[in-house]
Chain A
């Protein structure tokens, strides 16, 4: 504000009137602000005295029951859990969850409200295993028709729904075990170290801040790239990474549509889906079936079976093309998983721990104390 003693205002001009109007408007705004803030303050005083306090969310906002809705809830909605050093899992799940679930808000099948995030519930033998895949595969991979085989797949980002590159964890491991990576590890460079830190940090972020992967990144960042300590740490990282292939990548695999975009639902069915949801209780069984067929125009008549993908020969998913490293492919398509599926297909139960016991290269159990129960014939 200019000093009126040195800058006296002119006797009369239009700008002066304009200032006058502005001054009035400003005064009105100030009155409203003062009244609002004062009102809130006085309201607080009275409410604070008369109305019983509400329990603070920092204490009560924790997931005590694991419902379908809770499963879909983002972790930052649980203020209590976010503030806890060791947040509790929902009570009925005794074991530590160590982080939260990665909800998939862009999957049309669950977003529509028709299907839950754990949709498989029929066969006891397979339901939990099938649901397990829901953390890394879109429903359409197994349940939607594709014109080409093996299936055209790509990763999609769980936040944006857009096509994305392979998860950083798979990239990191694939690179480290590749010839190029091994050669670089023999003579590490600064760029090698930086690339590994970047990939591991990204992998930790994608795995909802997984503290173990984060620690790996920090350990890699610690020593000089030329030191033996660094090489030792990278070797340890190589040993540890496979135990993090758990489908927590912040991304899932989905079929690609004809334009090369991830297919996150049946195309052009939003109105039909809404119609079905509105009318489903009133429809006759026949009408329901008819409408459901319209809701799922691209539904695969014969859903993919475990052995369609978990096999090296004529597999529906070429894991290598979506960034899986060879060792992981081996586990998924040739190792004990393949054997277990074959076993299950034959109707034979799997007995633990002998079946999945860690074994050495010659096939002997590495832990001699394990009780190996021979599998009975079906």
Chain B
């Protein structure tokens, strides 16, 4: 429920609360320091440089312990004395005697503000470990590519654990920052004296334990220490877990700073089960066993209500390791991209090349003069506006939505790039980015449908008209009369154009209102919107779509969505931008989609049929050699 306070009130309370928190925290620190470091070890160990270098191991033995950890009680271990873990008899003399390695399963004493010390041990974690794939025997035998990561005798717990820190409670309870200074005051009414508890510590402790001990990205970092190590992967025949994780949506979200996305533990441990008991995927009791995988996705924390088919989706969609229809589709899309983008690229480059070599078409100047004459005519100028106001609006709406989709979608595709995180953070986080992406996509699809309806209606009206022969035009002729219709003549012109650009023909083909590449571009938008729309809706909420389609369809949808989006971006971002912004004939910008006016050079070079047709209609003399050409 939203806070009933007004924004101003909330801000005021937050500021005053922050100050109070500062005071409380600062005021409490000296007492904490004394209570939590009874042996005063921090007198020396607070210095970051306290340590030595062992050349034989190329290792620095560092004896630094962060004083802030103890003073500000940053984690659960801030309550225990150094000598609870380190043997008192060994460290109570300077220089310390040879120090035994810490046994994490030994019993320690948790001191409470009430003065009662409770015994505690991590022995249970050791028992859980022995049930899973990370059993003590395996951990004891680990060998790393660059030599051992732990010193001899150190507990293998250190592979995954360091001094436990509380996560920021605001990660879990967003209102914590606002309420924290005063939230514990009510608790202290009872817990200050009668039932003494360090409430601030407890709140942070409990809040921190409501979620996994680390943020998703940090969890992946922890697992990657072993699971991305080459030697370990070879020894245990494992795939690189960092790569696998970041090929999932969850991994990408983690890279982009998302805090509540699934991490390694989410999918590799049964909900509610101890995280130490990770089992191998071949173990039928493992949550990652093929028979159980769907239940992992369908847990109440993740995709509750999803169909079991969701388990068939390749969570780690790592293209180079794909097989089956997924790889066929990926290859097909790459070929499709090359087949569509490639010819357009060749045409664009060859057109630019004509400028480089200074090639001129015979009669070019006469055509230019005719174009200028038509433009001087009031009606001629109006009729040479190739794009209607409605079409211009549609173009800019499409451009805006396209830009929004690219800005919000590509950071997800290239989540490992630094700029991606910057973009997502600028948008206020991945949740916002996804919302924008979804709604921009929806608007685009609706816009597409509206445009389709408009075209169909126009075509329908045209089909019912009477033609020059006195008969109804009919659907076929109406379709062929659409300005963007690509017919055999257009294909022929494209071949002719290619021949001209390659120097095989003396003259280029002539075009009317739209050139062949503009027509193909238009068809590309048609195709792209359909593909991206359908796949986008499928992927929007896999929880719901899993009830209608097989999980493997998600793989195909994701491949199609990502490749089609890529094709659209390179086509628009490289070729379209070059042609309408950077091409020498239009630079710095073609106003065609703003005012409808096409630059003169482009008109006479690329739309000469239209110019001649308009000239004839308005009575501007067309030189015979131009008409003949």
Nearest-Cβ distance from residue A50 to partner chain B, whole angstroms: 6
Contacts of A23 in B (CB 8 A): 355, 584
Q: A71 to B38, Cβ gap below 8 A?
A: no
Q: B574 to A41, Cβ gap below 8 A?
A: yes
Binary flags per residue of B582-621, CB closer than 8 Å to A gives 1, else 0: 1110011000000000011100000000000000000000
- The yes or no answer to B510 lying at the interface (CB within 8 A) is no
Q: B52 to A49, Cβ gap below 8 A?
A: no
CB < 8 Å: which of A70, A132, A222 contacts B50?
A132
- The yes or no answer to A190 lying at the interface (CB within 8 A) is no
Q: B243 to A71, Cβ gap below 8 A?
A: no
* B337 to chain A: closest residue by CB: A45
Q: B49 to A118, Cβ gap below 8 A?
A: yes
- The yes or no answer to A286 lying at the interface (CB within 8 A) is no
- The yes or no answer to B11 lying at the interface (CB within 8 A) is no
Which residues of A20-66 have CB atoms within 8 Å of chain B's CB atoms? 20, 23-24, 26-28, 30-31, 34-35, 37-38, 41-42, 45-46, 48-60, 62, 64-66
Q: Roughly how many angstroms separate A28 CA and B265 CA in the complex, as a whole number?
A: 54
Q: B94 to A222, Cβ gap below 8 A?
A: no
Which residues of A50-94 have CB atoms within 8 Å of chain B's CB atoms? 50-60, 62, 64-68, 70-71, 80, 83-94
Contacts of B599 in A (CB 8 A): 1
- The yes or no answer to A215 lying at the interface (CB within 8 A) is yes
Q: A62 to B221, Cβ gap below 8 A?
A: yes
Which residues of B25-78 have CB atoms within 8 Å of chain A's CB atoms? 25-27, 29-30, 33-34, 38-41, 43-44, 46-55, 58-69, 71-72, 74-75
- The yes or no answer to B624 lying at the interface (CB within 8 A) is no
Contacts of B102 in A (CB 8 A): 94
Q: A56-B255, A88-B222, A222-B18 are in contact. Are A96 and B345 (CB under 8 A)?
A: no
Q: Roughly how many angstroms separate A165 CA and B519 CA in the complex, as a whole number?
A: 69
Q: Roughly how many angstroms separate A92 CA and B158 CA in the complex, as a whole number?
A: 7
Q: Roughly how many angstroms separate A247 CA and B352 CA in the complex, as a whole number?
A: 63
Q: B63 to A128, Cβ gap below 8 A?
A: yes
- The yes or no answer to B108 lying at the interface (CB within 8 A) is no
Q: B51 to A131, Cβ gap below 8 A?
A: yes
* B239 to chain A: closest residue by CB: A52
* B562 to chain A: closest residue by CB: A48
Q: A128-B52, A236-B26 are in contact. Are A96 and B243 (CB under 8 A)?
A: no
* B91 to chain A: closest residue by CB: A352
Q: A93-B62, A95-B65 are in contact. Are A247 and B246 (CB under 8 A)?
A: no
* A121 to chain B: closest residue by CB: B52
Q: B338 to A42, Cβ gap below 8 A?
A: yes
Q: Roughly how many angstroms separate A31 CA and B351 CA in the complex, as a whole number?
A: 10
- The yes or no answer to A212 lying at the interface (CB within 8 A) is yes
- The yes or no answer to A120 lying at the interface (CB within 8 A) is yes
Nearest-Cβ distance from residue B106 to partner chain A, whole angstroms: 14
Binary flags per residue of A227-259, CB closer than 8 Å to B gives 1, else 0: 001001100110110010011100000000000
Contacts of A116 in B (CB 8 A): 53
Q: A97 to B52, Cβ gap below 8 A?
A: no
Chain A interface residue bracket vs B: 35 or more
Nearest-Cβ distance from residue B112 to partner chain A, whole angstroms: 14
- The yes or no answer to A340 lying at the interface (CB within 8 A) is yes
Interface pick from A150-158, A299-307, A362-370? A362-370
- The yes or no answer to A98 lying at the interface (CB within 8 A) is yes
- The yes or no answer to B491 lying at the interface (CB within 8 A) is no
Q: A49 to B356, Cβ gap below 8 A?
A: no
* B34 to chain A: closest residue by CB: A358
Q: B582 to A350, Cβ gap below 8 A?
A: no
- The yes or no answer to B484 lying at the interface (CB within 8 A) is no
Contacts of A117 in B (CB 8 A): 53
Q: Roughly how many angstroms separate A351 CA and B240 CA in the complex, as a whole number?
A: 49
Total interface residues on B, CB under 8 Å, equals 121
Nearest-Cβ distance from residue B590 to partner chain A, whole angstroms: 10
- The yes or no answer to B523 lying at the interface (CB within 8 A) is no
Q: A53-B243, A93-B62 are in contact. Are A86 and B94 (CB under 8 A)?
A: no
Q: B215 to A84, Cβ gap below 8 A?
A: yes
Contacts of A240 in B (CB 8 A): 26, 29-30
Contacts of B55 in A (CB 8 A): 121
- The yes or no answer to B95 lying at the interface (CB within 8 A) is yes
Q: B19 to A219, Cβ gap below 8 A?
A: yes
Q: B38 to A353, Cβ gap below 8 A?
A: yes
- The yes or no answer to A124 lying at the interface (CB within 8 A) is yes
Q: B23 to A91, Cβ gap below 8 A?
A: no
- The yes or no answer to A293 lying at the interface (CB within 8 A) is no
- The yes or no answer to A14 lying at the interface (CB within 8 A) is no
- The yes or no answer to B443 lying at the interface (CB within 8 A) is no
- The yes or no answer to A211 lying at the interface (CB within 8 A) is yes
- The yes or no answer to A349 lying at the interface (CB within 8 A) is yes
Q: Roughly how many angstroms separate A102 CA and B48 CA in the complex, as a whole number?
A: 9
Q: A96 to B66, Cβ gap below 8 A?
A: yes
- The yes or no answer to A114 lying at the interface (CB within 8 A) is no
Contacts of A35 in B (CB 8 A): 349
- The yes or no answer to B382 lying at the interface (CB within 8 A) is no
Which residues of B195-235 have CB atoms within 8 Å of chain A's CB atoms? 214-215, 217-218, 220-222, 224-225, 228
Contacts of A84 in B (CB 8 A): 215, 217-218, 221
- The yes or no answer to A193 lying at the interface (CB within 8 A) is no
Contacts of B334 in A (CB 8 A): 45-46, 49
Q: A34-B349, A66-B62 are in contact. Are A4 and B372 (CB under 8 A)?
A: yes
Q: Roughly how many angstroms separate A62 CA and B222 CA in the complex, as a whole number?
A: 9
Nearest-Cβ distance from residue B115 to partner chain A, whole angstroms: 10
Contacts of A136 in B (CB 8 A): 49
6 A-B residue pairings within 8 Å (CB atoms): A31-B352, A34-B349, A92-B154, A95-B162, A128-B52, A358-B34
Q: A23-B584, A120-B52 are in contact. List 11 more A-B contacts (CB 8 A).
A: A49-B331, A53-B246, A59-B217, A67-B60, A84-B221, A91-B159, A94-B158, A128-B63, A246-B48, A350-B93, A351-B94
